[in-house]
Amino acid sequence: MRSPLRRLTIAALTAATLGTVLSAVPAQAHQRGGPGLGMENCTATACHFDVPPGTYDVKVVLGGAEAASTSVTGESRRALLPETATEAGRRVTRGFTVDVRTPEGEPTGTEGTPGLDLALGGDAPALADIRVTPAHRARQIFLVGDSTVCDQPGDPYAGWGQQLPQYLRKGISVANYADSGESTVSYLADSRLWGTVQPLIRRGDLVLVQLAHNDKQTDEATYRANLEALVAGVREKGGRPVLVTPVVRRWFNADGTLNNGTALLVNGLGVDHPAVIRQVAADHDVPLIDLTARTKELVESLGPEGSKALYLYNEKRDNTHTSVNGATVYAGLVRDELVDRHLVPKGMVRSAG
């Protein structure tokens, strides 16, 4: 399932509570509040900060003399702050934590630009102040996945991992190492993927794993063994693995239900990917986010017509890859599951509107 665009990152994680389960990301070399980390690096619609790879806290003050509505994206089209309305003459302060790395998007994609790039969006963006500082106590959530999770490089495509950061408050960073077109076989074999992610995992980090769409020719024994290898590899580094069943494809039967094979990811060899993931999670006491069940329920409730907006059906006749709208909705489901399973404290998440 290779996207027409390039590959993007998704990695996955799990933990019991943020304070005791997710580990801190090491601070960078810059001094807190040092020169070159404020408004002098911004135009009316964008900011660039010449910082090395690492994890950074960003504090923004939004609003101005007129009513405004501002959102923030960064790096490879990552949604970092949902659109926030401010009344005329009023200002609000918001914060988020961002992962800065090279490549800045998909691990097998282009390097992107050095440093931290932020873009201001919304109906009437208004940035009054900004401050970027090293994240001394940030917690990390890694994403391991395919094109339905990764940081997609261009419109109209979007992965749910690309939209997840906007749901998290300052103190939690999403490191999206999902990559378009990857299976469990290819992800484990490529040094730019698992060979890069595993050494970065620290004690307590959450690692969310959603790989299935591209395992079309992977037999059940191999698929199961690959999932078990990823789980063991995360635990070897002291991390907390979280298995995620894949988002459904938008393929309906005549009666308005989703097709049990194509939509629910049963491959040509008869391997029921979601069922294997659920079993591995149960066998190895791994937290499970059943995104297949959650997205199936939602897509069927919307029906053949209403569900088109979640995918790229109208733009590309694509029933697998999600639109920005669909990726945002699905990221919200992941946020809810993280909270419900006590992997992230409720106080560390936000709504997207």
One domain, residues 183 and 280: yes
The pTM of the full predicted model, rounded to 2 decimals, is 0.90
Mean pLDDT of 194-212: 97
- In percent, the amount of the chain with pLDDT more than 90 equals 88
One domain, residues 51 and 16: no
One domain, residues 7 and 83: no
pLDDT band at 42 (very low <50, low <70, confident <90, very high): very high
How many of the other CB atoms lie within 10 Å of CB of 119?
16
Whether 250 and 307 have beta carbons less than 8 Å apart is answered as yes
Q: What is the pLDDT of residue 352?
A: 66
Q: What is the pLDDT of residue 25?
A: 38
- 11 has a pLDDT exceeding 90: no
pLDDT band at 12 (very low <50, low <70, confident <90, very high): very low
- 4 has a pLDDT exceeding 50: no
Q: What is the pLDDT of residue 2?
A: 44
Whether 8 and 176 have beta carbons less than 8 Å apart is answered as yes
One domain, residues 96 and 210: no
Tell me the three state secondary structure of residue 85: strand
Amino acid at 83: E
Q: What is the pLDDT of residue 353?
A: 55
Q: What is the pLDDT of the chain when averaged over all its residues?
A: 90
CA distances 23 to 26, 140, 201, Å, are 9, 7, 9
User: Last residue of some domain: 91, 119, 136?
Assistant: 136
One domain, residues 142 and 172: yes
One domain, residues 19 and 81: no
Specify the CATH number for the domain of residue 220: 3.40.50.1110
| CA atoms of 43 and 60, how far apart (whole Å) | 14
Mean pLDDT of 189-194: 98
Domain count, the chain: 2
Write the pLDDT tens digit of every residue in 242-289: 999 999 999 999 999 999 999 999 999 999 999 999 999 999 999 999
One domain, residues 319 and 224: yes
Specify the CATH number for the domain of residue 97: 2.60.120.260
One domain, residues 147 and 244: yes
One domain, residues 182 and 63: no
Q: Which of 325, 219, 223, 304 is nearest to 259 (CA)?
A: 304
Tell me: cis bond preceding 241? Omega within 30 of 0 counts. Answer: no
One domain, residues 170 and 248: yes
Write the pLDDT tens digit of every residue in 92-126: 999 999 999 999 999 999 999 999 999 999 999 99
In this structure, what token pair is assigned to residue 102?
């090279």
| CA atoms of 145 and 11, how far apart (whole Å) | 5
How many of the other CB atoms lie within 10 Å of CB of 110?
13
Find the angle CA(69)-CA(71)-CA(72) to the nearest 5 degrees: 150
Handedness of CA 1, 255, 330, 243 (dihedral sign): negative
User: Last residue of some domain: 121, 136, 151?
Assistant: 136
Q: What is the pLDDT of residue 308?
A: 98
One domain, residues 193 and 311: yes
Q: What is the pLDDT of residue 36?
A: 54
For residues 35 and 315, which has the higher predicted lDDT (pLDDT)? Answer: 315
CA distances 41 to 45, 129, 237, 303, Å, are 11, 11, 37, 46
One domain, residues 188 and 228: yes
Strands of the sheet containing 116-124, edge to edge, are: 46-49, 116-124, 68-74, 78-86
Range of the domain at 88: 31-136
| CA atoms of 201 and 199, how far apart (whole Å) | 6
- 303 has a pLDDT exceeding 50: yes
E-strand ranges in 180-302 read 206-210, 240-244, 288-289
Mean pLDDT of 175-185: 98
